[in-house]
Amino acid sequence: MMCKNSLELQATNTEERCEECDNCAQKLLNDLEKFDAELRRIKDQLDVDSLRPSSKEHLRKLEEAITATRDLVNTFSFTVDSQVPKINQLEQDVISVTNNMDKLKEQVRKQSEDAQKALSNAENSHQRAKDLDNETQNLLRKIQGKKEHKQIFFNNINFL
């Protein structure tokens, strides 16, 4: 990527934000106007008719180059200006996507906490069910033990 925000082209870091080139384009247009005015001043001082044909051709090509350059700079400036709303929209979209991602991350965090709590509650419920099963089994053994005692007792009473 080349930076055109200074008088000389220089390499830039692609991580850096690009600055608007309106000032650069305007400076170039101003410089072209000065150059064009200076060329006209020189042309007025010269006796164009007395110039050699090759000099006249060079002068004509220089005028055409200045005009073409001015047109290109104007086109460039217009293109840059027309892209500003799209860039602004993209920046807003990035902010929106970032905010949505943050909200989703928070929702995932909360759901993860809820899932951990539910798992913990399920484990506690399972352990309580095991404990109740053990207590029920113990109570059943006691009841059967008393039933056997009762049976032995009645058998002894009937025997007498």
Using alpha carbons, select from 43, 41, 36 the residue that is nearest to residue 69.
36
Three-state DSSP class for 6? coil
pLDDT-derived band of residue 17, with 50, 70 and 90 as boundaries? low
Between 47 and 127, name the one with better pLDDT. 127
> Contacts for 116-122 with beta carbons within 8 Å, 24 or more apart?
none
The owner of tokens 């399972």 is: 126
Tell me whether residue 110 is in a domain: yes
Total domains in the chain come to 1
Of 43 and 87, the one with more pLDDT: 87
Query: What is the domain extent for residue 51?
Result: 23-159
In a domain, 14, yes or no: no
DSSP 32-71: HHHHHHHHHHHHHHS-GGGS-HHHHHHHHHHHHHHHHHHH
Please give the mean pLDDT across all residues of the chain: 81
10, part of any domain: no
Residues 74-131 pLDDT 10s: 898 888 888 999 999 999 999 999 999 999 999 999 999 999 999 999 999 999 999 9
